[in-house]
Amino acid sequence: MPESTKPDLMKRFLAALIDGGVILVLNIIPGIGRWLGLAYLLLRDGLDIEFMRHRSLGKHFMKLKPVTMDGGEIDLLLSARRNWTLAVATIVSLLRLAPFLEWLLMLAALAIGIYEIYLVFTDSESRRWGEKLAGTRVIEDDV
């Protein structure tokens, strides 16, 4: 396994803001915007687009890269595995469930979100729960 280093938390925060902006822009597309936003949220770290190099736009601009624990690149499936925890609220809202069930699942999504933030600040490598479940981490990458 490559050397363990904790990525800069401000860079991670700014990358998340940039990606949030991308999702907001996608969401305004009539009819399919919320689905496009969800697709970006889930698959963004596995997109095989040359300039992004298997990372989201936010991570690209902040010079961060998600990798497997042995330093390998993330594919679309692994991206979805590491990011589903961030997408729970969006998925629940798109499913249009019974109000009580939707409310309970939104509370679960809030709890997951709080836990994700907690881990970013307290884990020795700033690994979120989704990253731990998928066996990935974020590293600083100058390329």
The count of other CB atoms within 10 Å of the CB of residue 126 is: 18
pLDDT of residue 68: 95
Torsion 25-27-31-35 (CA) sign: positive
pLDDT digits (tens, 9 = 90+) for 12-44: 999 999 999 999 999 999 999 999 999 999 999
Specify the pTM.
0.86
pLDDT digits (tens, 9 = 90+) for 46-62: 988 888 888 999 999 99
pLDDT of residue 91: 85
pLDDT of residue 2: 47
Q: Which of 77, 103, 79, 80 is nearest to 92 (CA)?
A: 103
Helix (H) or strand (E) holding 15: helix 9-27
pLDDT digits (tens, 9 = 90+) for 61-104: 999 999 999 999 999 999 999 999 989 888 888 887 788 888 88
Query: Residue length, the chain?
Result: 143
Torsion 37-39-45-48 (CA) sign: negative
